[in-house]
Amino acid sequence: MRLILLRHGETEWNKSFRLQGHANSSLSERGIAQVKAIKPILAQFKPQIIVASDLGRVRQTAKIVGYKNAHFDAHLRELNMGDWTGKSKIDLLKEQPEYYKAWRAGEFTPDNGESWQDFCLRIKTTLLSYIKKYPNQDILAIVHSGVIRVVCHVFLGIATDKLLPVTPATLAVFDVDENHNLKLEAYNLGAFCPDIDVAD
């Protein structure tokens, strides 16, 4: 079976390098174009099970690719960034560079936010539950860049600083064996070239 992860398209907050977390920002015009471009590539996979984060930018992405009736699950949301939600990555790097770098390394949690460790456990538990519930069926999960980074880290053991940023509206594809082990088939698969690092 395959686990296919689709990141949502670029949002207005992505364009301005603002951290979104559990907040919502609509897809930008470029983001809508990105999602439309990935649709024919995604269609080739013909996934049987469709799940998605319940946040607005993912719902918008799901509708464009033809899965408006996906199972929307709050457990597939992006990392909760707490008091940093809505803040500019550029401002944080200027004003709190050590904290920002520590946060990116999973060693710091903003006030009222979710720790990297808790986020990893949430995503691992949620995706494993779907994998076990739907054996031998290809699963598409429409999610966020942080979720894709977690899967690569938790299931493949790849340090997040060894991963390229996840390009908006691209696919990460994993082969899943009978013991629920994952192997990476594709990363940043899509119609657009890898983008600059954007704040999800």
Check the annotation: does 24 bind a ligand: no
Three-state secondary-structure class, residue 133: helix
Output the pLDDT for position 197. 45
Check the annotation: does 188 bind a ligand: no
CB 25 within 8 A of CB 179: no
What global pTM score does this model have?
A: 0.93
Check the annotation: does 14 bind a ligand: yes
Alpha-carbon span 115 to 81, nearest angstrom = 9
Number of domains comprising the chain: 1
CB 2 within 8 A of CB 177: no
Whether 105 is in a domain gets the answer no
Check the annotation: does 12 bind a ligand: yes
Whether 98 is in a domain gets the answer no
Domain of 11, in residue numbers = 2-81+116-189
Check the annotation: does 57 bind a ligand: yes
Whether 61 is in a domain gets the answer yes
Check the annotation: does 153 bind a ligand: no
Q: Which two tokens stand for residue 107?
A: 């060693």
Q: What is the mean pLDDT of each successive set of 10 residues along the chain, which is 200 residues long?
A: 98 95 95 94 96 98 97 98 96 96 94 97 98 97 98 96 93 97 96 49
Whether 108 is in a domain gets the answer no
Output the pLDDT for position 192. 58
Q: Which two tokens stand for residue 134?
A: 């739907």
Output the pLDDT for position 199. 46
Alpha-carbon span 13 to 199, nearest angstrom = 8
Whether 137 is in a domain gets the answer yes
Output the pLDDT for position 191. 64
CATH number for the domain spanning 125: value is 3.40.50.1240
Output the pLDDT for position 150. 98
In degrees, to the nearest 5, what angle opens at C-alpha 129 toward C-alphas 146 and 127? 15
Of 122, 123, 79, which Cα lies nearest the Cα of 103?
79
Helices (H) and strands (E) in the chain, counts: 7, 6
Check the annotation: does 30 bind a ligand: no
Whether 100 is in a domain gets the answer no
DSSP state of 161: G
Check the annotation: does 104 bind a ligand: no
Check the annotation: does 167 bind a ligand: no
